[in-house]
Amino acid sequence: MKLDGKVALITGASKGIGRAIAVAFAREGADVAVNYLTSEEDAKKVFEIVTSMGRRSILVKADVSKSDQVKMMVDRVIGEFGRIDILVNNAGFTKMASILELAEDVWDEIVDVNMKGTYLVSREVLKHMVERKSGVIINMASVAGIVGETALPGNLHYNAAKQGIVAMTRTMAKAFAPDIRVNAIAPGVILTDFHARAGVTEERIKKRIQDVPLLRAGRPEEIASVAVFLASEDSSYITGQTIVVDGGLGMP
C-alpha cells in the first residue's frame, strides 16, 4: 500500500472529489481526518467507509476561512493521530455571477474559502511539518484558474482564486523544500454536484463536456488517483507542479 501508516487531513472531504480522495487514501493504508462544514451526514458516511477498511478516522467540522476554526481543526487532528503527514486542501465552492454583476460580498466569500482557506490550513499544518521536517501538501486548483473565463463563464472570482492557488503552490514548494513537497491538481469538468450547487444548468454542463477532447466528464476517482500519486513516494521528485486532469479541456 502506497500510503501505509500515513496520516492525512482532507478538507471538504464529505462529498465529491474530497470523498473520493479520502476513500482512495484509506484504501492505500492512510488514516484520514475528514473535514466538513455543512454536510455532516455525508461526512459520517465517509468516516464509516474509511473505518470499514481498518483505518482510523475522525470527523472535524471547521470553516477553513476562519483562522480560529482552522487552528482548532489542526490541533485536534494532531492530538488524535500525533502528526499530519499529508494535507489535501480540497474545500471550495463557487456562486455564478457575471463580471459586471458580481457583488463584493460574493467575491469575498469565494476567495476566502478557496484561496484564503488554502493558505490558512497550509500555514497551520506547515508549522507542524517544518518541525518534523517532513510532509506533503496537495492543493486543489482548477482548469478554470488556468485558462480563465472560457473554462467556466460567470466565474471570475473562482477563476482568480484558483489561479492564486497555483501561484501559492509554487511559492510554498520553493519556501519549504527540500523537506516538504507541495503540488496542486487542476481538475476539469468532474461528475459531482459541484456545478449544480453553483447554479450551473445541466444543459450548460453538457455543452461544456462537448468541448472536452475526450468527450466526457471525469470521475472523482480519477482525481483521487492523482492525489494518491502526489501523496506517495511515486512522486518523490515532483514539487511545485500543477497537474491538470481535464480530458484536454484546457489545451489551446
Contact 2, 32 (CB under 8 A): no
Among the listed residues 227, 221, 220, the one whose alpha carbon sits nearest the alpha carbon of residue 243: 227
Residues in the chain: 252
The string of DSSP codes covering 206-218 is: HHHHHTSTTSSPB
CA–CA gap between residue 103 and residue 224 (Å, rounded): 33
Q: Please name the helix (run of DSSP H) or strand (run of DSSP E) that holds residue 251, with its range, or none.
A: none
- The separation between CA 159 and the C-alpha centre of its own chain, rounded to angstroms, equals 15
- Active-site hit among 36, 119, 158, 237: 158
Contact 184, 169 (CB under 8 A): yes
Tell me if residue 158 is catalytic: yes
CA–CA gap between residue 68 and residue 19 (Å, rounded): 24
- The separation between CA 194 and the C-alpha centre of its own chain, rounded to angstroms, equals 13
CA distances, 82 to each of 22, 57, 131, 181 (Å): 19, 13, 13, 20
The string of DSSP codes covering 66-112 is: -HHHHHHHHHHHHHHHS--SEEEE---------GGG--HHHHHHHHI
Instruction: Give the catalytic positions in this structure.
Output: 158
